[in-house]
Every structure is written in C-alpha cells, then in structure tokens.
Amino acid sequence: DSSNELAVCRVLLADLEAHQDAWPFLSPVQHKSVPGYRKVIKKPMDFSTIKEKLTNNLYLNLENFIVDVNLVFDNCQRFNEDDSEIGRAGHRMRRFFDKRWTELL
C-alpha cells in the first residue's frame, strides 16, 4: 500500500544521499555557475528537492518517486560527458539505485 511504499522511498533516498558518489546530486545545480544548464535541462531535479517533495507528500507512490530519481540521472547524462567526474558519478549512482530498489521489491 502507498504508506509502505513511501517508507521504502525514504529508505531509498537515505541510501542515495549516503553514497560516496552522491555529491553532484545532493543540491540543485546552481545554473548561475553552470553556463547553459538552465537552457539545456528543462526539468532540474536533485536529492534535496526529492526529500522536500517526500516531506510534503507530493509522491503518491513509489513509481512517482522513481520517475524523479531517474530524472536526476537522465539530466546528468544529458549535460555531462560520460567520461567526466560528474558523468561517471551519475552512471554509478544510477546502477546503485536500480540494484537497490529492485532488492526492495
């Protein structure tokens, strides 16, 4: 049921935030210090924003939560070279997340 799913979301988010490769995703990208970001990335998302949405009950189920987490990683792949610090962190975080939430199913 959705209350259990929301408990799962909180566990998953805590795991994402605790990961050593989470640093690029913990807070919103400061588009003033990242030229082109606001133009290229139509729907910015980051872990602190997801936490805020969780707290404000804006996720009705696990699926809605997973859509936002994947948005973080899709934005990262769109903007960052695969062979870059942030690009590699994004791939590692996506792999970690995919494995983690399927374990919890």
Q: Give the residues lining the site for ligand D9K (CB under 6 A).
A: 24-25, 27, 29, 34, 76, 79-80, 86
CA distance 5 to 105: 10
Least separation, in Å, of the C-beta of 20 and ligand D9K? 14
Tokens read off for 84: 């870059």
Least separation, in Å, of the C-beta of 2 and ligand D9K? 29
* Closer residue to ligand D9K in complex, CB, 24/68: 24
Least separation, in Å, of the C-beta of 100 and ligand D9K? 19
* Closer residue to ligand D9K in complex, CB, 5/48: 48
Cβ-count burial 39-68 (b if 16+ within 10 Å, e if not): eebeeebbbebbbebbeeeebeebeebbeb
Least separation, in Å, of the C-beta of 39 and ligand D9K? 13
* Closer residue to ligand D9K in complex, CB, 54/86: 86
CB atoms closer than 10 angstroms to residue 24: 18
